[in-house]
Amino acid sequence: MKVRIGISLGAAEPADFAAAVDLLEASRVDSLWLPETVYTPAVEPFIGIAFALARTTRLKAGSGISVLPGRHPVLVAKQLASLAGLAPGRVLPVFGLQPAAPAERDLFPVPAGQRAAVFDEALTLLRLLLTSPSVTFSGSFFSVDGASVGPLPGKPLDIWLGGTAPAGLRRVGRLADGWLGSLLTPDEAGAAVRVINEAADAAGREVEPDHFGLSIPVAFGPVPATLAASIVRRRPGTAPADLVADGWAGARRMIAAYVEAGLSKFVVRAAGGEPPLTEFVAGFSAELMPLQN
């Protein structure tokens, strides 16, 4: 399996974004990742991906993680087809069920109680649009007649999903090409891989063995209080220190354990916004890039 490690810029603001992209490209970082956090100063993922890809020649760019339910899949397919045509092989879309921040959930409206069903149908239509020159589709939530999003990617885009709930993991196996999880121990991540593969087998399909990944926060000191509170809220009974790497040495140990559990793609970020990005990328280059093969 090819081990690859990218960097999430987290709350990178527009004023700092160009310099950050240039730094990642010059440092030969594999990929940059942009979370969807609307009520923050962070750059919007699809805008940031387009900007970064236009400014670089080798850096890959991903959405980690964008919300699909609440967006029309035809418009999303058009964005992805355009990005893939402009920067072949460098677009890494990852989608999720809903925003992590409850206050942002109303921004992605779906019929009450139907978010999971909308997600499933949107994924099905999205894949059709990215692989067929003309799509006619009639579903419970979306219907199109002869829809086309223009030139299709020469190589079909891999659509990855986030999520850690059992239903979400099974959705990866049924409908997606890969998985990017978060806040799981190595044992839990390995169990998630097995759930995904079992669902894929039941659906008569396969998720490629090197299409399993995890997002890893790295703390340089105690786990920041805001992150610790978020982990306690999302993972009651799990110590935050078990899910956050303790500096670069801790990140190397965690990545080795996740690789042993069957994962090979990783996205790391500074847990508390520290140290400065130049220092973080220098440490990343020295400590984690040698783990790639």
Predicted model pTM:
0.95
pLDDT band at 274 (very low <50, low <70, confident <90, very high): confident
DSSP run (H or E) holding 181: strand 178-182
Does pLDDT of 97 surpass 80?
Answer: yes
Identify the CA nearest to 19 among candidates 275, 88, 2, 27.
27
- 177 phi and psi angles, rounded to 5 deg: -105, -10
The torsion region of residue 120 among left (phi > 0), alpha (psi -120 to 50) and beta comes to: alpha
Does pLDDT of 169 surpass 80?
Answer: yes
How much is the mean pLDDT over the chain? 96
Q: How many domains is the chain partitioned into structurally? A: 1
Q: Which domain holds residue 268?
A: 4-291
- C-alpha triplet 184, 264, 42: angle, nearest 5°: 65
Question: What are the tens digits of pLDDT across the range 111-123?
Answer: 999 999 999 999 9
Average the pLDDT over each of 25-34, 148-157, 198-207 and give the range with the smallest value.
Answer: 148-157
Average the pLDDT over each of 98-107, 151-160, 252-261, 271-280 and give the range with the smallest value.
Answer: 271-280
Contact 206, 254 (CB under 8 A): no
- Alpha carbon 140 to its chain centroid, in Å, reads 27
Average the pLDDT over each of 7-11, 60-64, 262-266 and give the range with the smallest value.
Answer: 7-11
- For the domain that residue 232 is a member of, what is the CATH number? 3.20.20.30
β pairing state of 31-34 and 60-67: parallel
